[in-house]
Chain A
Amino acid sequence: MAAHLSYGRVNLNILREAARKELREFLDKCAGSKAIVWDEYLTGPFGLIAQYSLLKEHEVEKMFTLKSGRLPSADVKNIIFFVRPRLELMDIIAENVFSEDKMHSPRDFHILFVPRRSMLCEQRLKEQGVLASFINIDEYILDLIPYDGDLLSMEYESAFRECYLENDQTSLYHTAKGLMTLQALYGTIPQIYGKGECARHVANMMLRMKREFAGSQNQILPVFDTLLLLDRNVDLLTPLATQLTYEGLIDEIYGITNGYVKLPPEKFAQKKQGEASKDLPTEPKKLQLNSAEELYAEIRDKNFNAVGAALSKKAKIISAAFEERHNAKTVGEIKQFVSQLPHMQAARSSLANHTSIAELIKDITTSEAFFDNLTVEQEFMTGVDTDKVNTYIEDCVAQKDPLIKILRLVSMQSVCNNGLKQKVLDYYKREILQTYGYEHILTLNNLEKAGLLKLQSSSRNNYPTIRKTLKLWMEDANEQNPNDISYVYSGYAPLSVRLTQVLARPGWRSIEEVLKMLPGPHFEERQQLPAGLHKKRQQGENRTTLVFFLGGVSYAEIAALRFLSQMEDSGMEYIIATTKLLNGTTWIKSLMDRPESQSS
């Protein structure tokens, strides 16, 4: 079921298998029948590593969600808590353990911390008087989770916030650890490039960790030629823009979590023959989205404007395939046809699903609101009137549109103008605070700290220079048959991906000036390979780069990198890793101060 992980240039199934083995080993430590109590947040990421069948093979008979109060009864020898190291979860666990003792059924308790055990949590359990009840306390180092054949994510939501607001570099430490794991499995990465403060930190930690493990030489032939570490704050602009690829729009509108999307059910109601139309389902329709689905792999990275054509082409092919049955005359032909049915059937249902999704999205992308918003975004990205108060934003505030939308737009204007004039910034802030509540001073302050909102300093606006040098705006972006990465935003080429592209060819030396304008140092490091592990490259063989986005990456950026991988003359294949898959909305939300407690 995870075969799609091994189709790519780098077999990410190896990583998944290592994670599965680890899980089995832990389960076997707790001999006998078991029940797992899940921190609900973890079931999504774990679902990408293992299915229930694996757990069942190791005598997991029951699974519960972690809740306060008494544990449900279950006739098992072991109770295992799978939790993130968070203090509030420790309190719940303590409650569970306490209410258990009263029932005099001796069950063994274990905790598996994901991704790291934490001394504070253990201390908390100790204070609550339950630490001694645990037979095993262990950690499950799940740093990088394979999401697709070319995509790894730590799903560390607060990484950007911690790095830039709280100056807490724990996520970078985990990143470095995750990269060490990758190198242990896929060989030492000989070249490391980076841009940004966090990138520098991670590289330093990696080099230090390598020294600490100096005893054992890595004897694996390197799979990756290059690692590129990029700070999210080098490119604050890209995630703010509305993504216009199919997958990007699904994420913008409905949100993709752990490879799943929840959609309004109406368009998916299945009417079977002979059945009166049943009541429409009210539960959202949940779909898994990854490259295991042939059609999805084909259309996910297309500009949404090219999706309709792709779907209708596919529809014709499938119709034709089904029509073949009329030509099947002999028994052999009929057999042949029938044997293909399951595949055709799957293709048909996949087509039905994506047609429905495309319809849902189209309703939104053709709305006036979407268009107006996009127009303003593109004005900003091309540098039109970025130094004045924007009437569209003003109107949105007056209509009390969602605050996140406003923050996204104002941040974008600020980034595209290298900061706002005092008068403009003050005006926006006042409007926002008066309309949405003064407590949002905290959020505005966070955005300022993160550099998303800033006051224009006396130095001139360098965004136009950056835009021109890196060709961030392409007038003739071709949405149907793209020839440049700018198709993912219908004109805007993501800065982060341009940096990646230029690094591969002609090299960063050609853009020294621009690199200096962007925040943080840029650097290059080399890691020595043991003799004999130097790759002998075939003529015309592609190189492989792992691009690690520290602080998050959007689906449109991923699409742009995939586009570069597929370009015939690029000579480079990209594997993408990140602390978090994000879009402008989830990103801004992660920077807000208690977004849930709005004027409560």
Chain B
Amino acid sequence: PTTMLCTKFGEDRPLGGRVCLTSCCLQMMKNKADEEDYWNSSKFKAFTFDDEDDEFSRLKESKRAVNSIRPLVDEDDDEEEVEKVSWSGEPVGSISWSVNETAASNQRTDREPAFPKINTDTTSISKSHSGYSLSALFKGETHRCILGKDNTLSGDWSPEETVQRMQQGKAVSLEKFRSLQDKLLLLDYAVSAHDGNVITAPLWDLFVFPEVLFRELTDRQTALRHFIHYLTESKDQRLLLELLRYLPLSTPGLPLLQYKEHLGIADENKRRDFLKSCLSLPFSPEDSVHVEDHYTLLERQIIIEATDGHAERGGKQEIFQKFPRKASILNMPLITTLYYCCFYHYTESEGTYSSPLNIRQTFKLSEKQFFVTALAARAKLKAWPDVDALFTSRNWLGFTRKKSPLSFQRVVDVLHKNSAPTQVLQDYVALVDDAELRITLAQKHKCHDIVINTYRDLKDRQQLLGYRAKMARGSAEERKINELLNNSQIRWKN
């Protein structure tokens, strides 16, 4: 119903689509006969842009007003009153503006550093320098070098106090937490403080014994997540992988975390092997299908890429000469790969890796997906017989002639995007069921015959007359309309 609706609105339609949607949808479903009344009801009108008082004309009006005022005053007269703004919109004197400005002036070494002219900040408080500063609010002491290892800092703080001091940015020493027990106690207090900064510190202090750390972390999920986050951020791949290996496979999210590592592998063969190694991980059933598909796809892409690269260089296959490949197919999504294969390998038998039919089978692609991709690829090549065959030769799959898993409106859309000529488009426009939609599409794509025939079928003389006015003088279309209008057999409704 959505697509039906939008044609009703024509070009200008209300922003508040909800009225159209809720009420209209329901209304349309309930009672088609009421439709006309509804569209003309006053309630709806409030939301259209059609009438004179609409948004668009209002915008135009204010635009006109603005423009008419413009010449009245010289723009440059009163700058000191208005905040100076550079073209890029930054007030002159703002920090980000000045970063560029002072940096730029720096490059011209022979010049005195030029400072931008600034309107002085006149806020009274800023002059008096009174009021609070943020840190004074909590009487925080000046602090330096929090992680000092010198003995002067080793006040006798309990783990709890240590965490508190760390949170306040005060100096602490973690030296005194010597035993593993102490260190873990500190960690647990830190975790309960919810401050990532404080949690990671004792963790990092536990680095010395990785195995112990790893073991303890499995019981401390929060600390574990912080640690993984830290390792990812510090790009310590080695330690991260070591940690992942150590953790029990039951750790939540672990398989995906490991799978994620593939993104960092540039070499496609290594990436493929890595994905293969992931297959044994305990993913959820759905995820494991996807990961397997991912592996299968890359494996296949590597083979196709090698074969096609070879063929392209060999210069024997016409298709690669006529349409040189723009990019490697490696690591492209499945649908892109299917498109590629429909483009270069359309007629291959089901036995090859690059055969579209084989891809469809292997990855269990839906009818619709396969259809739309093949359609776009063959249309791009202007292989119209192939396009036609997509609709007709499908009988063995249970379709009758010229049926499509896609609405014909969408088919026309896809063909049009691939710059199909009118002769081709009109075959498919003609198959659109809804008369009104068919006329809209036919007009859009200049399929005059269809427009004329549809008006004839609707016995709409007025529309036909109107359409004739749009046709070129002496054209075949004009003649056809004239013939129809003169045909006394037709009982016009108007």
Contacts and interface: CB of A to CB of B under 8 A. Distances in A.
28 contacts: A18-B131, A25-B135, A51-B121, A55-B95, A63-B95, A64-B99, A65-B99, A65-B103, A72-B107, A119-B204, A123-B204, A168-B225, A170-B194, A170-B196, A184-B137, A260-B89, A286-B90, A305-B16, A311-B62, A312-B58, A312-B59, A371-B9, A375-B6, A378-B18, A431-B369, A437-B331, A491-B19, A599-B333
A315 B94 CA distance: 30
A457 B72 CA distance: 67
Contacts of B489: none
B479 interface: no
B416 to A, nearest CB: 13
Interface string A20-58: 111011000000000000101001101100111111100
B335 interface: yes
Interface string A515-544: 000000000000000000000000000000
A62 B121 CA distance: 19
A359 B369 CA distance: 37
A469 interface: no
Nearest to A438: B294
Contacts of A52: 93-95, 97-98, 116, 118
A62 B103 contact: yes
A305 B18 CA distance: 13
A355 interface: yes
Can you list the 9 inter-chain pairs with the closest CB atoms, starting with the nearest? A286-B89, A170-B196, A315-B65, A438-B294, A308-B58, A342-B81, A52-B98, A308-B55, A315-B62
Interface stretch (A146-154, A228-236, A316-324, A574-582): A316-324
B144 A345 contact: no
B83 A119 contact: no
Given A17-B126, A374-B17, A433-B290, A122 B147 contact: yes
Given A141-B134, A316-B65, A441-B256, A54 B126 contact: yes
Given A318-B69, A599-B332, A362 B137 contact: no
B197 interface: yes
Interface in A252-288: 260, 262, 270, 272-273, 281, 283-288
A17, A116, A436 — which one has the most chain B CB atoms within 10 A of its CB? A17
A371 B6 contact: yes
Given A18-B134, A62-B102, A63-B102, A53 B120 contact: yes
B121 A21 contact: no
B331 A594 contact: no
A355 B59 contact: yes
Interface stretch (B229-237, B344-352, B429-437): B229-237
Interface in B134-168: 134-139, 142, 144-147, 164, 166-167
B169 A17 contact: no
A150 B2 CA distance: 40
A384 B25 contact: yes
Contacts of A284: 88
Nearest to B81: A342
Given A38-B99, A124-B234, 5 more contacts: A270-B75, A315-B62, A366-B49, A441-B294, A491-B19
Interface in B97-111: 97-99, 102-103, 106-107
A435 B335 contact: yes
Contacts of B103: 62-65, 72
Contact of A490 (B2, B17, B23, B99): B17
A102 B377 CA distance: 60
Contacts, number: 372
Interface in B62-101: 62-66, 68-73, 75, 77-78, 81-83, 85, 87-91, 93-99
B222 to A, nearest CB: 6
B68 A319 contact: yes
A365 interface: yes
B121 A1 contact: yes
Interface string B286-330: 110011011001000000000000000000000000000000000
B200 A372 contact: no
Contact of B133 (A18, A316, A391, A431): A18
B76 to A, nearest CB: 9
A600 interface: yes
B227 to A, nearest CB: 11
A18 B137 CA distance: 9
A137 B144 contact: yes
Contacts of B221: 167
Contact of A213 (B82, B138, B253): B138
A67 to B, nearest CB: 10
B451 interface: no
Contacts of B115: 56, 61
Interface of B: 2-3, 5-6, 9, 11-23, 25, 46-47, 49, 54-56, 58-59, 61-66, 68-73, 75, 77-78, 81-83, 85, 87-91, 93-99, 102-103, 106-107, 113, 115-116, 118-121, 123, 125-126, 129, 131-139, 142, 144-147, 164, 166-167, 169, 193-198, 200-201, 204, 221-222, 225-226, 229-230, 233-234, 253, 256, 259-260, 262-263, 286-287, 290-291, 293-294, 297, 331-335, 363, 365, 368-369, 372, 410
A100 interface: no
Given A62-B106, A345-B73, A599-B332, A371 B89 contact: no
A504 B25 CA distance: 36
Interface in A142-193: 162, 166-170, 172-173, 180-181, 184-185
A66 B137 CA distance: 31
Contact of A426 (B146, B194, B286): B286
A316 B102 CA distance: 43
A294 interface: no
Given A308-B56, A442-B256, A365 B62 contact: no
B94 A434 contact: no
A549 interface: no
Nearest to B65: A315
A61 B287 CA distance: 56
- Chain A interface, >50% SS class: helix
A375 B121 contact: no
Contacts of A442: 256, 259-260
A466 interface: no
B2, B64, B113, B334 — which one has the most chain A CB atoms within 10 A of its CB? B2
A166 B223 CA distance: 11
Given A371-B6, A594-B263, A599-B331, A366 B256 contact: no
A371 B259 contact: no
Given A47-B95, A120-B200, A599-B331, A375 B89 contact: no
B51 to A, nearest CB: 13
B71 A273 contact: yes
Contacts of B260: 442, 593
Contacts of A314: 62
Contacts of A286: 88-90
Contact of B233 (A87, A260, A283, A318): A87
Given A65-B99, A442-B256, A22 B146 contact: no
A561 interface: no
Contacts of A327: none
B5, B75, B115, B194 — which one has the most chain A CB atoms within 10 A of its CB? B194
B6 A305 contact: no
Nearest to B97: A52
B98 A205 contact: no
B414 to A, nearest CB: 9
Interface string A114-145: 00111110111010000100001111010000
B135 A141 contact: yes
B72, B83, B113 — which one has the most chain A CB atoms within 10 A of its CB? B72
A319 B69 contact: yes
Given A19-B134, A117-B169, A475-B22, A366 B263 contact: no
Contacts of B365: 434
A129 to B, nearest CB: 15
Contacts of B13: 366, 371
Given A120-B201, A205-B194, A309-B58, A366 B106 contact: no
